[in-house]
Amino acid sequence: MNTPRDTQPNPRTYAPRDTLHQRPFSLIDLALLLGVISLIVLVLAVARGTLEVFQPPDVLPTISLDPINLPYYLARSTLRMFIGMGFSLLFTFVVGGLAARYRFAERIILPTLDVLQSVPVLGFLSVTVTLFIALFPGSLLGLEAAAIFAIFTGQVWNMTFSFYYALRTLPKELDEASRLYRMSAWPCPTP
């Protein structure tokens, strides 16, 4: 007699051979590929505007108030926000993970983040704008980088502390169960 445990597939087994010989490329794959290529082309087209000449007070970029340009300006702002969010997530996972995992890192990282969090974004924005303009002379890229840095600093401290405390308050039983079942930190798809 089969028990419910016997009828469940073992997640550590391999797929049958007939499923491995399915069609390698489908219409969904084509649609995803076209979507990714379109997104890359769109990002490159929007990012091209960051290479404008910027040499104040002689050469300043022009801003058109024509409503036809609003989608382009919206795309540039959205691109800045996504880049800032990407840097924030990378910083959060690396620094928050280090602080949660190692006591030595925690004693250094948490006070440093607390001090950086207490400084208002506008407090060091003037210094960073000057620094980024000096890093990218004659290009609008310096101002774009300063805007991305302002977005980054506006959200990264809260994200890092939240991630750190989420890892620190994880129940020890869950950690013990994951070690017992030999689970890795990376999620595995179930068959």
Task: Please report, for the chain, the start and end positions of each structural domain, with discontinuous segments joined by +.
Answer: 27-53+63-170
Per-residue pLDDT of the chain (191 residues; tens, 9 = 90+): 555 555 555 555 555 655 555 667 788 888 999 999 999 999 888 888 777 777 777 767 777 788 888 898 899 899 999 999 999 999 999 999 999 989 999 999 999 999 888 887 777 788 888 898 889 888 888 888 999 999 999 899 999 999 999 988 888 888 788 888 888 766 555 44
Q: How would you class 164 by CB atoms within 10 Å of its CB: exposed for 0-12, middle for 13-18, buried for 19 or more?
A: buried
Residues 166/102, Cβ–Cβ less than 8 Å: no
Give residue 25's pLDDT. Answer: 75
Regarding pTM above 0.85, the answer is no
